[in-house]
Amino acid sequence: MGDSSVELDPRVRHDLESALRAAFAAPPPAAPPPAGRPEPSARPEGDIQRGRASYRIVGEIGHGGMGVVLRGRDSELARDVAVKVLRPDAARSESTLRRFEAEARIGGQLDHPGIVPIYEFGRMADGRPYFAMKLVRGRSLADLLGARESVTADRHRFLSIFEQVCLTIAYAHSRGVLHRDLKPANVMVGSFGEVQVVDWGLAKVLAKGGADESAPDAAREPAAPHAADASRSSTHSADGTVMGTLAYMPPEQARGEIERVDERSDVFALGAMLCEILTGRPPWTGATPGSRGRRNDADLVEARARLDAMLDVPELVQLCKRCLSEEREHRPRGANEVAQAVSAFRASIEERARAAQIAVAEARVKMEDERKARWLTVGLASSVLLTLLIGGGGWVWHQRQQERRRAQTAELVNPALEHASLLYGQVSATNEPARWQEALASVDRVRALLDAGEPSASLEQRAVQLAEQIRAGAAAAEQRAALANSNQRLLARLEELRVPEGEGVDAPDWSQVDAAYGAAFRDHGLDLDAGPADECAAAIRERGLGVDVALALDQWAAARRRAGRAPDAERLTNVARAADPDEARASVRNALAHGDRAELVRLAHSAELEGLPVATLTLLGSSLTAAGAEQEALRVLRVAQRLRPDDFVSNVYLARHFWERDYREAARYYSAALAVRPDDSIVVHEYGYLLDHFLQEPERAIALYRKALERHPDDATLHHYLGLALATQRHFDAAIPCFETVLRLEPQRLGAYAGLLKCCWYKGDLDALLAHSREALSIAPHFGAAHESLGLALLTRGDLDGAIDALQTAEPLMPGNPSVQEALRSAFEQRGDHARSLQAARSVPYPDHLLAWFDLGLCVREIVDLDQAIRARREAIRAVPVSAAQHAVLGVLLQEAGRYSESLFELQLAAALGADEGIWTLASENAFGQASRLIRDEQRCEQWIEDARRLTDVEARFERVLHDEEAPRDAGEHAEFARLALRRERSAAAARLFADLSEAPAEQLPTWCRREAAAAGAMAGCGRGEDAAALWDSERASMREQAARCVRAELAECEREISSGDSARRLRAARALATLAIDTRLGGVRDAAALAELAPAERTTWTELWSELAALEGRIRDAATARAK
């Protein structure tokens, strides 16, 4: 651009580019499909060439930040393999190539059963590296942990798996290799119990002293890394942007202190995995990228509380806490130490189990021996008794024997009874379900001892009473556990139903949300629409759910108000008030119920704001947003997000707040929201749209949609969003199947038809466009987009009447739509209906199409009032000074007004603000005759500015040339001086200058020269213009005659264009004829009243010319009709 360039702040430039892209709605140029996920149609089976044979690729296993893992078949050795290939976009980075190769080398050098062996390293035909490795059949540890019924279920098996992981990492540490991304998702458990640690893409090699070796660049990373999502479903490590997974990452790694990362960093991750095995969750469950640098020991309070609740495994709890120490020095030195501790614990458990089995067996033997002894005693006693009775002293002896047996029974039962009583006391205090089962087992042991012996009545009574107490306590505990489980599931369901409000396509169906809330409560035994409000509140409080459910009721009430059920919403508010009488929350609840904006604003600045629950804060924030109090809403939502960084709703609201203010900030909050709910289709769409349209990252948007569709292949909305993103990138062949899938899932979804029609239109597939348009109209006769597409297709086919009928039907259904108006303008133009063509042109909003009209040669002066348009553009620029589009349009208008130096300034400024955003565009001369289909053209930008510089030079020399003090350099420049005179209302001077060109060869003159010469002669000849009043009548007549010669020559040229049979030349002729027919500068020799003032002979001349014009337009209409038939 030379000296016309202007440097801008990058953020300002980004905003300008985004605004221009949205304003012109011009799809960006075609781009290659995203490298991370090839199109399904572009992933056929194929071979990866290698030295001795080839691997046959049969499908994709998964993909990450820099590579794709494919399933292959080794044809030579007849075995299945996994093949990891570097993505094409990642292969352009030297550091990524080195990292990929380092991963292969590390995997190939680590020879251990717990590490997937590398078979071969090679390169594809395009130079991208790949490596083949063993295919592990099984499930990840993350999947297995997620599938267990409770945290204690199958614990012994998971500890065995964890021990093998520790041994594998200990081996890697012994070879000087750190993994740095340990997590359950990176541990594969095979079908036969084999355990292997996978994904060594972030591994690094340590020197002997424990620091980074300087050789491999692949082992290095930025000092302030970003982190992957904490959620299990989104933990792939992106090349150059992450170095681990937040939920399992040690503090030093999260803070980017790379020099402090050593074996103990992996030990921390092992502790995080052990924490998840024991408690069901990793230590940091709300980790977000924004919180990575602020971690400290205090952040683990919640995790330690969960660990402290595991009373049955104190040894593992202490080990886990040591591993999770913030200071490295307090952690075990290496993974081997962790493995030894786990092994010792498992051995002690097995030893205790064996000891218990031996004790039970010994007790059974003892009981059996005592039983036999008693029977022997009884037999002997009977003989003795008979003898004693016979002898007269047997009764006393019998009593003594019975007392001895009871004493023996008591000696055995009392310790067991005391142990059962002790357990009862302990479990009554803690209410742990596992301990209740232990207490019940102790009662069973007491009963077995009682049945085997001869207890006294008092001992029997004590045992029975204790058994009844324990069984009653266990039953009550089971009921409490069931109720707690029900409460927990209810609260989880209510949290899922807590959705952010939206507008348009992103707005929830509030009737469905309302019904879902009611069903959730009824499923858990609470029908809040039945009975008095105070009884409903009492039932809520009895379950210990007062505050939590009251907050959900606030959300439900808001949904009901949005669903149009305000009276029923008031009932829910009353239940919430009764269940939660807190004054601060009551104030918010009342303000929300009555929509009191002043009170909502006051609450946003109140001291009690920090003490409100997050759910209340988000509801308050959304209400403030709806009330137009944006700053107060931002303040409230920031408080909510600070109190709970992993709150889905507050992150979504903050992302939407920054949507038009700071795209990067909005993206940060969307990312945090998706870390909490990765499957939320609305947020996936919004984030994808932001990436695609504003952050200029379409491949990330498309990958985001495809990733979501892997989890939800039948989600019509996601297919729709993916289709729109692909269509925006002009991947029409890939977008069409997306829209067809939507229509298969939801045949009535008109938005999918709109996308499908757009793709057919831009592909130029008229048959499909006609078919789909008519199909959509059979479902929805008033669907404007279908009428528009039908009209465009018919216009292309030359069926002008059919096109106009369809487009006029679309016009009221799509008011103000520029595409409809522009198509109508083109149809009327081709039919020769100048008045209606001009009316349609004036209905098209500009600046969207003004530049295109200029390129098409349309008469801009007849479409807009130049002075008024210039004033309007200057007003718009005062409001938005950095709008490249507005400056460009103002430059064109000033040029049309003959103010060239001003025009050059505006065009240069527009170029500096956004030369590559499509504002310097040529109308695509396509079969549709549309001015709205634009292409980017930076060369056009430079050409416009060069033209403006040339015209500025013409402007500077204008007066000297006009006074014959200087001569034009050539015929083309001579014509420019004549046009400038005409634009400055000096029609007589313009007519004389044009007359001087009468002998110039036509090829040396601009195409507009005859038309402008005719206008100059007509204006001067009719006394219009600043210098025309001084002309003699004879001079005026001569100038009118000059105008007639120019019109006659223009008509002759149009006749040649029409007779050529070429549709493009015929269209140019139609535009030239239309311009002559509507140019107000020719009104003095065209309008009936003006013709009446001319001499009869001259009047006849002009009448014949206009009749000839009408006849030529008739020939164009006849040709169009014949083509349509």
Looking up residue 417, the CATH number of its domain turns out to be: 1.20.58
Q: Are 168 and 298 within one domain?
A: yes
> How would residue 924 be classed by pLDDT, with cut points 50, 70 and 90?
very low
- 165 within some domain: yes
- 987 within some domain: no
> How would residue 871 be classed by pLDDT, with cut points 50, 70 and 90?
confident
Q: Which of 472-486, 614-628, 645-659, 727-741 has the largest mean confidence?
A: 727-741
| Cα→Cα distances 677→286, 336, 437, 787, 929, Å | 12, 36, 37, 39, 47
- 397 within some domain: no
Does residue 900 register a pLDDT over 50? Answer: yes
Q: How far is CA 16 from the centre of its chain?
A: 22
User: Are 232 and 184 within 8 A, CB to CB?
Assistant: yes
CB-based burial, 1028-1065: b 16+ in 10 Å, e otherwise: beebeeebbebbbebbbebbbebbebbeebbeeeeeee
Residue with tokens 């500068």: 1081
Q: Are 64 and 160 within one domain?
A: no
Residues 67, 133: Cα–Cα separation, whole Å: 14
Nearest to 682 by CA among 710, 660, 657, 653: 653
Does residue 608 register a pLDDT over 50? Answer: yes
Does residue 540 register a pLDDT over 50? Answer: yes
**Percent residues over pLDDT 70 in the chain:** 78
Phi/psi for 881 (5° steps) reads -65, -20
- 259 within some domain: yes
Residues 85, 223: Cα–Cα separation, whole Å: 27
Paired with 118 in beta bridges are 133
Q: Which two tokens stand for residue 475?
A: 């039953």
Q: Are 289 and 423 within one domain?
A: no
User: Are 449 and 484 within 8 A, CB to CB?
Assistant: no
Nearest to 397 by CA among 410, 388, 407: 388
| Cα→Cα distances 100→71, 131, 220, 979, Å | 18, 9, 12, 65
Does residue 790 register a pLDDT over 70? Answer: yes
Q: State pTM to two decimals.
A: 0.45
- CATH number for 104: 3.30.200.20
Residues 647, 655: Cα–Cα separation, whole Å: 12
Residue with tokens 């979504």: 652
Angle of helix 716-728 relative to helix 750-763, nearest 10 degrees, comes to 30
Q: Are 88 and 154 within one domain?
A: no
Concatenated DSSP letters of 164-211: HHHHHHHHHHHTTEE-----GGGEEEETTS-EEE---TT-EEB-TTSS
> Which whole number is the average pLDDT over 927-943?
43
Concatenated DSSP letters of 868-881: HHHHHHHHHHHHST
Q: Which residue has the higher pLDDT, 29 or 356?
A: 356
* H or E, element range at 1119: helix 1096-1124
Listed in sequence order, the DSSP H helices in 431-532 are 433-452, 457-497, 510-523
Domain boundary (134, 153, 178) is at 134
Cis, peptide link before residue 847, omega less than 30° from 0 = yes
300: domain range? Answer: 141-348
Residues 839, 862: Cα–Cα separation, whole Å: 10
Q: Which residue has the higher pLDDT, 1103 or 597?
A: 1103
pLDDT digit string (tens) for 1008-1039?
A: 899 999 999 999 999 999 999 999 999 999 99
By the 10 Å C-beta count (0-12 exposed, 13-18 middle, 19+ buried), 690 is classed as buried
Q: Quick count: other Cβ atoms within 10 Å of Cβ 665?
A: 14
> Which whole number is the average pLDDT over 53-61?
73
- 455 within some domain: yes
Q: For residue 932, give the DSSP letter.
A: S
Residue 1073 has a pLDDT of 87
Residue 210 has a pLDDT of 42
User: Are 673 and 651 within 8 A, CB to CB?
Assistant: yes
- CATH number for 319: 1.10.510.10
Cis, peptide link before residue 33, omega less than 30° from 0 = no
Residue 51 has a pLDDT of 40
Angle of helix 263-279 relative to helix 301-308, nearest 10 degrees, comes to 50
25-29, 249-253, 909-913 — which is least confidently predicted? Answer: 25-29
CB-based burial, 820-850: b 16+ in 10 Å, e otherwise: bbbbbbbbbbbbbbbeebbebbebbebbbbb
Does residue 627 register a pLDDT over 90? Answer: no
> How would residue 769 be classed by pLDDT, with cut points 50, 70 and 90?
very high
Does residue 917 register a pLDDT over 60? Answer: no
Residues 745, 663: Cα–Cα separation, whole Å: 33
Mapped onto helix, strand or coil, the DSSP state of residue 715 is coil
Number of domains in the chain: 5
Q: Are 164 and 100 within one domain?
A: no
> Which whole number is the average pLDDT over 884-898?
80
> Which whole number is the average pLDDT over 140-158?
85
Listed in sequence order, the DSSP H helices in 189-282 are 251-254, 263-279
Mapped onto helix, strand or coil, the DSSP state of residue 662 is coil
User: Are 277 and 316 within 8 A, CB to CB?
Assistant: no
Residue with tokens 């208008």: 893
Counting every residue written for the chain, the total comes to 1125
Residues 521, 499: Cα–Cα separation, whole Å: 17
Q: Are 71 and 170 within one domain?
A: no
Domain boundary (497, 527, 552) is at 497
Paired with 936 in beta bridges are none
pLDDT digit string (tens) for 402-454?
A: 777 778 878 888 888 878 877 777 676 566 666 788 888 888 888 888 888 88
Residue 941 has a pLDDT of 66
Q: Are 1028 and 1119 within one domain?
A: yes
Q: Quick count: other Cβ atoms within 10 Å of Cβ 1009?
A: 23
Q: Which of 561-565, 648-652, 750-754, 1098-1102 has the largest mean confidence?
A: 1098-1102
Q: Which residue has the higher pLDDT, 686 or 1064?
A: 686
pLDDT digit string (tens) for 170-219?
A: 999 999 999 999 999 999 998 777 899 998 888 888 864 443 443 333 33
User: Are 1014 and 1041 within 8 A, CB to CB?
Assistant: no
Domain boundary (481, 497, 513) is at 497
Q: Are 221 and 339 within one domain?
A: yes
Q: Are 458 and 480 within one domain?
A: yes
Q: How far is CA 343 from the centre of its chain?
A: 45
- 988 within some domain: no
CA 438, 441, 443: angle at the middle one, nearest 5?
A: 115
The residues, ordered by sequence, that sit 6+ positions from 753 with a Cβ below 8 Å of its Cβ are: 739, 743, 772, 775, 776, 779, 783, 785, 786
Phi/psi for 125 (5° steps) reads -60, -35
pLDDT digit string (tens) for 94-116?
A: 888 888 888 888 888 898 989 99
Q: Are 177 and 314 within one domain?
A: yes
Counting Cα atoms < 13 Å in the Cβ hemisphere of 864 gives 26
- 621 within some domain: no
Residues 1122, 102: Cα–Cα separation, whole Å: 70
Q: Are 232 and 126 within one domain?
A: no
Does residue 502 register a pLDDT over 60? Answer: no
What amino acid occupies position 184? P
> How would residue 20 be classed by pLDDT, with cut points 50, 70 and 90?
very low
Q: Are 336 and 287 within one domain?
A: yes
The residues, ordered by sequence, that sit 6+ positions from 586 with a Cβ below 8 Å of its Cβ are: 577, 580
Handedness of CA 422, 425, 428, 431 (dihedral sign): negative
Residues 667, 652: Cα–Cα separation, whole Å: 10
By the 10 Å C-beta count (0-12 exposed, 13-18 middle, 19+ buried), 76 is classed as exposed
Q: Which residue has the higher pLDDT, 340 or 390?
A: 340
Mean per-residue pLDDT over the chain, rounded:
78
pLDDT digit string (tens) for 631-681?
A: 898 999 999 888 888 888 889 889 988 887 888 999 999 999 888 888 787
> How would residue 955 be classed by pLDDT, with cut points 50, 70 and 90?
very high
156-160, 427-431, 1066-1070 — which is least confidently predicted? Answer: 427-431
pLDDT digit string (tens) for 557-607?
A: 888 888 888 888 888 888 877 777 777 777 777 787 777 888 888 888 887
Mapped onto helix, strand or coil, the DSSP state of residue 652 is helix
- 485 within some domain: yes
